[in-house]
A and B are shown apart, each in its own frame.
Chain A
Amino acid sequence: MSAATTSFPNASPAWDLPSRGKVAMAGLIIAESAIFTIFVVAYLFYLGKSLTGPTPREVLETPIFYTICLLSSSLTIHFAAKSLERDYTRLFLGLWLLTIALGGAFLYGTAQEWHRLIFEHGLTISTNLFGTTYYSLVGLHAFHVTAGLIMLLAVAICGFAGHMGVSQSSRVAVLSMYWHFVDVVWVVVFTVVYVLGR
């Protein structure tokens, strides 16, 4: 496009607009929040309405260690994005891999919990209302962690290929917005499922 501008009368030249990536990610986060809200409402609505066991009080254990893993990954991705802005590429890559490791640990924790629930307590998604709502709410969150990890891995691969620099920092900032969102959702899910729900 040509740099010259057609001036309508009395136009003021100064112009500053928000970044489209951040605005779009904010839009996605609003939409995702609405989806999670519906699942959380269903979970709360059906609390204690299961006709058969097992109940949350009997089988759920609070996953404190894995929660700390996920929440601290928000810190590491924040500092990773900051270090990329200052062009500390190696520091960025280290923190980024740490983020992936923490996110992976969280997923492992979820998998372990599900394994225990299914094989020790016989709780599946079709057992009772608790099973249905629990697996779908926690599963929806785990799905978002998985999607986030895939994107983080893609960035890590680009990093090893030497493509990550200051020029990519705004994209990484958008991705880290998503990761923070996934963490905040976990705070809500944790509160609902493991604190209020027992």
Chain B
Amino acid sequence: MSSNAITIPGAQIEARPWVDELHLWLTTVDHKRLGILYILSALLFLLIGGVEALIIRIQLMHSHNNFVSPEVFNRMFTMHGTTMIFFVAMPVLFGFANYLAPLMIGARDMAFPRLNAFSFWLSFLGGLLLYFSFLGGSGLYGAGSAPDVGWWSYAPLGARAFSPGHSSDYWTLALLVSGFGSIGTAINIIATILCLRCPGMKINRMPLLVWMNLVMAGMVLLAITPLSAAQIMLLIDRYLGGHFFDTQAGGSAVLWMHFFWIFGHPEVYVLIIPCFAFMSEIIPVFSRKPIFGYPVMVAATVCIGFVSMSVWAHHMFTIGMNSYANSFFTLTTMAVGVPTGIKIFNWIGTMWGGRIQFKTPMLFSIGFLFQFLIAGLTGIMMAASPFDWQLSLSYFVVAHFHYVIVGGILFALFAAFYYWYPKMTGRMLSERLGKCHFWLFLIGFHLTFDVMHIPGVLGMPRRIYTYEPGRGWDTLNLIVTIGAFIQALAILVFLANLVISYFKGAQAGNDPWDAWTLEWSIGSPPPVYNFATVPTVASRRPLWDLKHPEDPDSHYE
């Protein structure tokens, strides 16, 4: 596609003073720069949230440890959870959606570039607001304090009586502000995908990544908003003397749990569906086969989108719902496993008989497949409400959802980093450091989260500050902590790879993976205008058609 480059006077890359460069980044409305800003802010918070995780793990390393005080421990797990979900996972996935969706549909930018910038800064400043609580949490009477009521801030913990000062307010406002940012981005993604597709990019020809991000954005509209509404209610309670969650005035603590989990469970799918999207792009390319069952994949995604809206109360089996509610949420939770299973089947179907290339993105993808399957299976175990009564609020649950979030989401994200980094920077990530990162992280992950199930089964509760010796938890917790440090080491290798390869990596060229979607038809990094000429596509794999004019996909679709 050598014809696909034009010269615009003044648009060439030239050395600018760093102040100009900074100004450019701070005021940009370009979807590629904003995507990278999203990803960088997420990496920053990943480091912070990771340090918090290590503090938690050091404290639990052996019984009667006094590494931190109980108050600090509560702050650490609250901040760790809030940070990782709202300021790492969401922004990094929005970042990839921002960067890739317009490129994959052949668009110049997102539908609303300024809304895009506004949403990013809302979400980033929301994160800063959360961390400002360390300084201003007590209302600036000297030492501050971060929120310490858990990432769900169960009522009445969030009420004034139990959470004095401003720590909970920072938590509430940070989530409210970043939530508005998420809604803005979701609207933007939907408008971009529906309204800016290049000629020929019919809805049934869109790359699966685009399809899945469309579903994800739709879910954000319905999932983040209940949280925003609940946060507004909490603010009314705290500042205007309202009684929404004030049990002494007849309010209901359980209602808060419902509102929180109506957000909380779809949120898991908001995070995992873009990861399915990465898998659906990466696995075909490294198996050298088109995706197996494209329409079924789309149908399964939409199906997950709907069913996952009706599973939230499986987080609440232990609060004593009636048997009809228990049965309903058990059934819906098990049902959501079906479309997810279809997806895993289709990815394996894609690999089956393919000429698989074990590059780093593919290694992480295969890790994802196995780990996400196991995470799903422990999920099905706990979907059975009697089983959940036994193991809820134990480390088994912690192990389960970290298996989803780390073993699933994070592995898929690493695959995406290794796959699209060449497009974003023009340089390949080092394969040697990449394989080192993969194996270290894999070992650390399994050491931590496989072993973590066992103290849960042995009865170790979540959120405890420390524990008595002689319950059979000590050795297991020590292994878990060692695994956590191996993961931290792997993350450092990954960050080193990002930095070193940026300066020393091999030149990527337009299409280093011999891939099939539109973003690989233009330069790496793409020019500001993306496509010099508006592409027109005729099939789901436009670059395949271009490379193989004698046998294009469009003959078969």
Contact = CB atoms under 8 A, between A and B. Distances in A.
B200 A126 contact: no
A9 B4 contact: no
Contacts of A125: 236, 240-242
B196 interface: yes
Nearest to B1: A6
From B537, B552, B555, name the one whose CB has the most chain A CB atoms within 10 angstroms: B537
A38 B226 contact: yes
Interface string A1-36: 110111111111101011110011001101110110
Given A126-B241, A132-B242, A46 B534 contact: no
A35 B229 contact: yes
B230 interface: yes
A133 B250 CA distance: 12
A35 B228 CA distance: 7
B112 interface: yes
Contact of A20 (B1, B6, B112, B529): B112
B194 A17 contact: yes
From B3, B197, B217, B536, name the one whose CB has the most chain A CB atoms within 10 angstroms: B536
Contact of B545 (A8, A28, A34, A126): A8
Interface residues of A, number: 43
B199 A42 contact: no
A119 interface: no
Given A20-B112, A42-B255, A8 B536 contact: yes
A67 to B, nearest CB: 24
A39 interface: yes
Interface in B78-128: 108, 111-112
A30 B555 CA distance: 39
A42 B251 CA distance: 10
Contacts of A1: 108, 529, 531-534
A23 B73 CA distance: 45
Interface stretch (B165-173, B180-188, B292-300, B341-349): B180-188
B195 A11 contact: no
Contacts of A20: 111-112, 191-192, 194-196
A5 to B, nearest CB: 5
Contact of A129 (B187, B224, B251, B549): B251
Contacts of B108: 1
Nearest to A14: B199
A129 B249 contact: yes
Nearest to A133: B244
A110 interface: no
Interface in B125-160: none
A140 B225 CA distance: 14
Given A24-B187, A34-B225, A35-B229, A11 B537 contact: yes
B538 A4 contact: no
B221 A27 contact: yes
A46 B250 contact: yes
From A15, A35, A38, name the one whose CB has the most chain B CB atoms within 10 angstroms: A38
Nearest to A126: B241
Contacts of A7: 536
From A8, A9, A129, A136, name the one whose CB has the most chain B CB atoms within 10 angstroms: A8
Contacts of A170: none
Contacts of A11: 199-200, 536-538
Contacts of B112: 20, 24
Given A23-B195, A50-B250, A6 B3 contact: yes
B305 to A, nearest CB: 13
B536 A6 contact: yes
B285 interface: no
A28 B187 contact: yes
B199 A5 contact: yes
B103 to A, nearest CB: 15
A12 B190 contact: no
A18 B195 contact: yes
B40 interface: no
A128 interface: yes
A51 interface: yes
B50 interface: no
B529 to A, nearest CB: 7
A132 B196 CA distance: 44
Interface string B526-547: 0001011111111100100110
A45 interface: yes
B433 interface: no
Contacts of A9: 538, 545-546, 549, 552, 554
Given A23-B194, A24-B111, 10 more contacts: A1-B531, A8-B535, A8-B542, A10-B554, A11-B536, A20-B191, A27-B186, A46-B250, A125-B242, A132-B243
Interface of A: 1-2, 4-13, 15, 17-20, 23-24, 27-28, 30-32, 34-35, 37-39, 42, 45-46, 49-51, 125-126, 128-129, 132-133, 136, 140
5 contacts: A1-B534, A2-B532, A27-B217, A28-B187, A38-B259
Interface of B: 1, 3-4, 6, 108, 111-112, 183, 186-188, 190-192, 194-197, 199-200, 217-218, 221-222, 224-226, 228-230, 232-233, 236-237, 240-244, 249-252, 255, 259, 262, 529, 531-539, 542, 545-546, 549, 552, 554-555
Closest 3 CB pairs of A and B: A126-B241, A38-B229, A34-B225
